[in-house]
Structure 1
Amino acid sequence: MSRTVYAIARYHDCQAAIDFLTSAFGFRVHEVSKDDQGEINHAELMAGDDLIMIGPGEAGGPGIYIAVENADAHHDRARVAGAGITMELVDQPYGSREYACKDPEGNPWYFGTYRP
C-alpha cells in the first residue's frame, strides 16, 4: 500500500521525544537519520502500520489523531509515562472512546477508537 498523508511533529529534543513517544504511546522506531554533528534531523516512528515523522523545530501545531484498540489502557499508559491529559476519556456520540493529551514539549495528541 502506498501512503499519501503523513503526520509530522516537531521537537527541540528529538531523542527525548523518541524516548517519550515509544514509552508513553507504544510507538516503534522505524528509522532515525542524523546530521554530521550526530543530531537527529529526521525520524520515523510506527503506530501500528502507520508512520509518524518527527524532526527538529518548534513544538505545537494542529495535533495528531491515532486510532487505538483500547483507549482506556492507552490513556493509563500515557498518564503513567508523563503525558499531560488535556481531555479525560469520553464516549463520543459518533461511537469513539477517546482522550487527548500533550507530550512534554506541548504537542497535542488525540487517541481514540474511531477509525473513519
Structure 2
Amino acid sequence: MNTTETQTTQHARTTQHTPAPARTPEIFPTLKADDAPALIDFLVETVGFLRTAVYEDGGRVAHAQLDWPEGGAVMLGSFDPDGEWCVRPGTFGAYVVTDHVDELYARLSEAGVQIIRELEDQPYGSREFAIADPEGNKWAFGTYRGEPRPS
C-alpha cells in the first residue's frame, strides 16, 4: 500500500468508531428558497433540523436559523432576486454529519424524500447518502467528520 492508501485506511478505522464532540457553528452555510416556509417545514419536520429562529417580514422569511441536533446549523430566507446577498434557490449543497445515518436514511426513504444517492459505505470510511429537497438543493448525510486539523 502507498502512503495515501495507508493514511486513508488508518483514517477510516479511527473515524468509524470515535465520534468527535459537536462543534459550535463558526461558519453558517446560507441558502434561499422560493417557498422558505415550506422548505423550513421540510427540513424541520421531515429531515430533523431544529427550528432555532425564524423572522418574517411582510410574509417573507427575512432570516431563519436551523440547527442540526448533532452540531452545526444553516441559515436561510426567502429568495429576493434584487437582494445583494442572494443565491438562486436550488443551487445549494451541504454535507451533514450524523451518527444515525441508517436510521435517517430509512426515515427519509419512508417519507418519500427524493434520494439522489443511495446509502453506501465509502472507501474513505464514511457511510452516507444524499437527497434533494423540494427546492432542488442537495444534502448529503454521512458519518465522515472531516480530517483532523493540522497542528
Cα RMSD (Å) of the superposition? 1.6
**8 A Cα contact 1:12 1:59, kept in partner:** yes
- Given the alignment of the two structures, is residue 13 of structure 1 paired with residue 29 of structure 2, yes or no? no
Q: Distance in 2 between matches of 1:42 and 1:82?
A: 28
Q: Are the structure 2 counterparts of residues 2 and 71 from structure 1 closer, same or farther at C-alpha, using a change threshold of 3 Å?
A: closer
Q: Does 1:29 align with 2:51?
A: yes
Q: Report SS of the residue matched to 1:20.
A: helix
Q: Percent identity?
A: 40
Give the alignment's TM-score, normalised by structure 1: 0.89
1:101 aligns with 2:101: no
Asked if the contact 1:60/1:107 (under 8 Å) is kept, the reply is yes
1:93 to partner: Cα distance: 0.8
Higher strand share: 1
Q: Which amino acid aligns with 2:32?
A: R
Greater gyration radius: 2
With normalisation by structure 2, the TM-score equals: 0.70
Partner of 1:115: 145
CA shift in 2, pair 1:78/1:56, >3 Å: same
Partner in structure 2 of residue 39 of structure 1: 60
- Secondary structure of the structure 1 residue equivalent to 2:134: coil
Structure 1: runs of 5 or more not aligned: none
Q: Offset of 1:75 from its aligned partner? A: 1.0
8 Å CA contact 1:25, 1:78 repeated in 2: yes
Q: Structure 2 regions of 5+ residues with no counterpart?
A: 1-22, 80-87, 147-151
For these two proteins, the number of residue pairs brought into alignment is: 115
Q: Which amino acid aligns with 2:67?
A: M
Show the counterpart of 2:7. Answer: none
